Amino acid sequence: MTVKDLQPSQVWKIFDQITKVPRPSGKLDKIRNWLIDFAKEHKLEYKVDEVGNVAMFRPAAPGFENAKGIVVQGHMDMVAEKGAGSKHNFDTDPIETIVDGEWVRANNTTLGADDGMGLAIALAAITDPDLKCGPLEALATVDEETGLTGASNIKADMLQGAYLLNLDSEDDGIITMGCAGGLVTLATYNYKEEAAPADRVYFKFDFEKFHGGHSGTDINAGYASTTKLVGRLLWTIGQELDYVLCSIDSGNLHNAIAHAATAVIGVKSADKEKLAVIFNNFKAEIANEYRHTEKEMEITCESVDKPATMIDSDTAHRVVEALYALPHGVDSMSLEMEDLVETSTNLASVKMREGNTIVVEMFHRSAVESRKMDLCNRCAAIFHLSGANKVVNEGGYQGWEPDYNNHILKVAVDEWEKLYGVKPITNAIHAGLECGLFLKVRPDMDMISYGPTLQYVHSPQERCHIPAVQKGWDFTIAIIKAVAAGK
């Protein structure tokens, strides 16, 4: 069985087409062209704005000219993460989808159901020949995953409706009406490249098969950040041994919890046995601490040949001190909504870049703007104390304040109860959604966010629950029909 054989067929067939188009964040020409071709094929008016967002417009059905318009929206980019051993090239290769019981997953890569499935539902709705309603728009935004670029630059003419259905949430039976804001911090250290000493023996540490996950919705799940762990290991070694650091690498994306890391160090020959003891103790500690959430993790140490160069010891020391001191995880919980993370940070990555620089990236989230900035400033203080050459913030976006008087929320709650016999959960989430940015240009627009159940998004374990897609599709059609009926 393939995804094209699943129900609702119109949604899964479009999703299958989307998975065949490479669309990592920042490289969206192919999916944009595919969307334009889709609009032309279905004889839909379309518009592409200056940042590359694509909107498709379907006029009201005869007799529904006075019904309020609806925008059904998703983002076109996906997080490009792959597991150990994968040779997948996100710039050229289609996603290999696998039907696994009640779930669809990919072959050791992210699936891209975040938000390819939302986009598929939107496109299926706007091309449904049996749907009688007022004006309908399908909006596909760019680079949501790397700073909400499309939503940040949206203009009112790309949002032609009274209501917006954002299809970028990940829990069946939950309607979202608020979200956290976010901000990226980048700290740069300039280092001197020096010849690696010949009188040392060299070892490589690998952190593999860690869970990873979404840096917002999974930040309280107890998954380890390998960026945090590699810093902790090097700091621990440095308390007892004189070592040189030749290379360090962990994580990839600011909105993904780092799931792999590596570092190469050199120690004196006489310290080999002591290093083995330190490493084995560290490994046992981590296995115990994360025994509930990282059951597949692997931490290894192997002897390697002498590298040509090393990072100067002063810079290496300062970077490691910063990695060990910087926070990762939940900073505070909401006092207004039960079990909701209010403020958090993701110690996302540490990378050696061109020009002899080391860059540490963090991503801060909060539903309270002042607390987001406070956390950001505290981390900046650590970077400054550790002698970072440059600390900048970028990609900031505001949150979406919950509105309990939201009319489309009331309609959606009623329709869910009619369909499934229970009231849906309404909440806010600790993740970034585009709705708050849409409200900047359309403050009169009522919005909600929902979607079928996705698990382990932003990681190679990402999967989509098949029955929830049917429910999400039926729910979307029910909302559109309710609005068309004047509710």
Q: Look at strands 243-250 and 261-268 and give their pairing.
A: antiparallel
Please give the Cα distance from 229 to 250 (Å, whole number). Answer: 10
Catalytic pick among 16, 114, 144, 145: 144
77 in active site: yes
Please give the Cα distance from 475 to 117 (Å, whole number). Answer: 14
137 in active site: no
Distance of CA 413 to the CA centre of its chain: 27
Structure tokens at 190: 């300039």
Beta bridge partners of 139: 55, 73
Please give the Cα distance from 202 to 246 (Å, whole number). Answer: 9
- Does residue 78 contact residue 112 with C-beta atoms inside 8 Å? yes
Please give the Cα distance from 401 to 369 (Å, whole number). Answer: 11
E strands, 400-466, where?
425-429, 446-449, 454-455, 463-465
Quick one: three-class SS letters along 275-331?
HHHHHHHHHHHHHHHCCCCCCCCEEEEEEECCCCEEECHHHHHHHHHHHHHCCCEEE
> What's the distance, Cα to Cα, between the start and end of the chain in Å?
40
- Does residue 278 contact residue 236 with C-beta atoms inside 8 Å? yes
Catalytic pick among 77, 145, 415, 434: 77
Please give the Cα distance from 22 to 18 (Å, whole number). Answer: 8
Catalytic residues: 77, 144
